[in-house]
Amino acid sequence: MKISHRNFIDFLYRYLGTGGTFTSIAAYFARGESTVGHIVAETSKAIWETLKETDMHVPTRDQWGATAERFESLWNLPNCIGAIDGKHVRIKKFANTGSTNFNYKSYHSIVLMACCDADGIFTMIETGYAGRNSDGGIFRASAIKHWILNNRLDIPPASPLKYDNSDSPFPYYFVANEAFPLARYMMRPYPQRIFNYKLSRGRKTIECAFGMACEKFAVLNGPIRIRDPKYMNFVIKAVCVLHNYVRKREGLQYMPTDEFTGSEVDSSVVQPQPQNMTIHINSPATALRSYLANYFLTPLASLPWQWKFCL
């Protein structure tokens, strides 16, 4: 009996949504296991290639600017244009690969490297990296870093921070965890509690994006049992672009919240005072990070509750 295109979508959605095996899906639809595997692989590829231009295209300069405004209004993080992190996707060990994909969590995986905006929508993804590699090592070899360094992303030029009276130009940047390198285009934590708290408010968006994708598509909880790495990558890419598709059309948008109440101000806490600092267009990454940390201590840029949570 001929299988319709509608059946193809049903096969894929049941696989992505439940994370079931090809054997269980084949039994449910009364089809051969190899037939189900072929349908899942080809349909995932078709969905990725169809939706990537509308639901995961590289942002334009104006869109980067709009993303920075969302990070400022939602998470009080100025000039931030994305959060970057890697996720280990559990897989069944590929044949003849030894410990190539065996990660520090003691299972076989491939790594999804992703960047998202302030609302948890993926803007850039790369997948297929061996699980034994670190996030920092993967980013060092990634196309995302290559695009950033070679000005392929059309990121806006440096502009002053919103409440900075000195009007010193500050570059737009991504946020990441300690596994990633510090650079002019990337901020990572360091031993300053206020800075780390503000950075974490923006960085959690990528963790939330991964969490939402895993809740909708259980296949990411693995292990994925596809034998061909190429088609496994298409499955992961299809999940990410479908996450964007659903998030943009039916997802609940984050709203700015006022977390401050008068009881959260503790007059006994000694609050650090901002210092007089300057930067210029060629300031190194360490100077930029210190300048941003100092900016978070100024009256207009600080959050009323940050002293209670951090000190």
For residues 104 and 240, membership in a common domain is answered with no
Q: What is the pLDDT of residue 302?
A: 83
For residues 67 and 134, membership in a common domain is answered with yes
3-state secondary structure the chain: CCCCHHHHHHHHHHHHHHCCCHHHHHHHHCCCHHHHHHHHHHHHHHHHHHHHHHHCCCCCHHHHHHHHHHHHHHHCCCCEEEEEEEEEEEECCCCCCCCCCECCCCCEEEEEEEEECCCCCEEEEEEEEECCCCHHHHHHHCHHHHHHHCCCCCCCCCEECCCCCCCCEECCEEECCCCCCCECCEECCCCCHHHHHHHHHHHHHHHHHHHHHHHHCHHHHCCECCCCHHHHHHHHHHHHHHHHHHHHHHCCCCCCCCCCCHHHCCCCCCCCCCCCCCCCCCCCHHHHHHHHHHHCCCCCCCCCCHHHHHC
Number of domains the chain contains? 2
For residues 79 and 90, membership in a common domain is answered with yes
In a domain, 175, yes or no: yes
For residues 76 and 192, membership in a common domain is answered with yes
311 vs 193, more confident: 193
In a domain, 142, yes or no: yes
pLDDT tens digits for 202-250?
999 999 999 999 999 999 988 888 888 888 999 999 999 999 999 998 8
For residues 6 and 81, membership in a common domain is answered with no
For residues 106 and 210, membership in a common domain is answered with yes
This prediction's pTM: 0.89
For residues 207 and 236, membership in a common domain is answered with no
Say if residue 209 is exposed, middle or buried (CB neighbours under 10 Å; 0-12, 13-18, 19+): buried
In a domain, 193, yes or no: yes
In a domain, 86, yes or no: yes
pLDDT tens digits for 71-94?
999 999 999 999 999 999 999 888
For residues 108 and 5, membership in a common domain is answered with no
For residues 218 and 240, membership in a common domain is answered with no
In a domain, 309, yes or no: no
In a domain, 284, yes or no: no
For residues 82 and 198, membership in a common domain is answered with yes
For residues 217 and 76, membership in a common domain is answered with yes
pLDDT tens digits for 105-159?
999 999 999 999 999 999 999 999 999 999 999 999 999 999 999 989 999 999 9
195, pLDDT greater than 70 = yes
In a domain, 282, yes or no: no
pLDDT tens digits for 24-71?
777 877 777 777 778 888 888 999 999 999 999 989 999 999 999 999
End residue of a domain, out of 203, 223, 243: 223
What range does the domain containing 101 cover? 58-223
In a domain, 237, yes or no: yes
pLDDT tens digits for 238-255?
999 999 999 998 877 787
For residues 151 and 240, membership in a common domain is answered with no
